[in-house]
Amino acid sequence: MKLNVVFMGTPHFAVPALEALQKHSDQFVITGVYTQPDKPVGRGLEVQASPVKKKAIEFGLPVFQPEKLSQPGEFERLQTLQPDIIVVVAYGQILRKNVLTLPRLGCVNIHSSLLPRWRGAAPIHWALLAGDQETGVTTMHLVEKLDAGDMLLQAKTPISEQDTASTLHDRLAIMGSELIVPTLQGLHQGTLKGQTQDESQVTYAHKLTKEMESLDPNQDAETLARKVRALNPWPGTSIALKTGERVKIKAAKAHRSISGPQGKVFERAGMVLLGTVDGSLELMQLQLEGKKAVDASAFLNGLKGRGQQLPLELA
């Protein structure tokens, strides 16, 4: 007997999981796909469908886009889909108790961390910011409390010094898609039992803010390098120069063995470096406001062309 599945998701992160379920159509019938309403995107503010909606239409699946699931008639419509289970992947709406308790096998979520570490809005970014050696994905039952449901399956991956929020995002999306099918199979067969989270081990991945953008030379080079990797593409990282210019830092590397004037951008052996409280941060890809991102040599040439030279002091 096939499982009736309702899928709820919106961004690119959710697409591989939808693809995995559709690939196993001999086991699962996707009776509906819920995603956020179409929104204006980019400088031209062109109204676009979410990545999940585009994929659902490609598969010929019914799509629903309520502003809120709590709107009159929405719960009744969800009931008509008769879900045995609801799969939620970065949907973007809080599910109320009536929805959580509707499917006989509950609501299952793919969360991009090794719970109970990094509950909350930005687990990928905070794993990088904290210098974690590994991260992963967890399938879990959804409950009313944020990311607090019983854990079902987990998969781990090491975090390398080259990993950014973007590379981890893409890797974890695939890992989550590989977990969702065995999770649903185990629940359907009654062989998969949830594991309660250890509340003493909980950490929270708070929402990212624009105020996190500035690189502070009072922090060490290792911390700043992790920040550059974690906050790219949004909110990004930058330094403000006393010249009044703001420079976005797109890529950087920590050098603990190179010391330089703290709070100043200087040159050494062709490298553009920011002196910090411990070591120096190599600024490998830089972007002046309104300009394209360039490497260190092009940045140095641009300074010469404007009659500027290093060192430059931060504001």
Place of tokens 């594991």: 195
pLDDT tens for 220-250 read 999 999 999 999 889 999 999 999 999 999 9
Q: What is the pLDDT of residues 20-41, one digit of tens each?
A: 999 999 999 999 999 999 999 8
Question: Is residue 16's pLDDT more than 90?
Answer: yes
Lowest mean pLDDT among 31-45, 103-117, 157-171, 265-279: 31-45
Cα–Cα dist 240/246, whole Å: 4
Please state the rounded mean pLDDT for residues 2-7. 97
Predicted local confidence at residue 1, as pLDDT: 84
Question: What is the rounded average pLDDT of the residues 110-130?
Answer: 98
The pLDDT value given to residue 175: 98
Residue at token pair 């309403």? 37
Query: Mean pLDDT for the chain?
Result: 96
Residues 6+ apart with CB under 8 A from 262: 217, 218, 275, 276, 277
**Looking at residues 119-133, what average pLDDT do you find?**
97
Banded pLDDT at 42 (limits 50, 70, 90): confident
Measured between alpha carbons, how far is 64 from 5 in angstroms, rounded to an integer?
Answer: 14
User: Is the per-residue pLDDT at 286 higher than 90?
Assistant: yes
Q: Calculate mean pLDDT across residues 261-278.
A: 97
Given this model, what pLDDT does residue 45 score? 86
Residue carrying the six token digits 């590379």: 167
The identity of residue 184, as a single letter, is L
User: Could you give all domains of the chain from N- to C-terminal order, each with its CATH number?
Assistant: 3-205 (3.40.50.170), 210-313 (3.10.25.10)
Asked if the model's pLDDT at residue 98 lies above 90, the reply is: yes
The stretch 190-204 carries a mean pLDDT of 97
Give the pLDDT score at 44: 84
Residue 226 makes CB contacts below 8 A (sequence gap 6+) with: 128, 129, 131
3-state secondary structure 249-293: EEEEEEECCCCCCECEEEEECCEEEEECCCCEEEEEEEEECCCCC
User: How far is it, in rounded angstroms, from Cα 138 to Cα 153?
Assistant: 6
Residue 110 has what pLDDT?
98
Query: How many Å apart are CA 239 and CA 305, to the nearest integer?
Result: 21
Q: Is the pLDDT of residue 90 over 90?
A: yes
In the chain, the amino acid numbered 293 is A
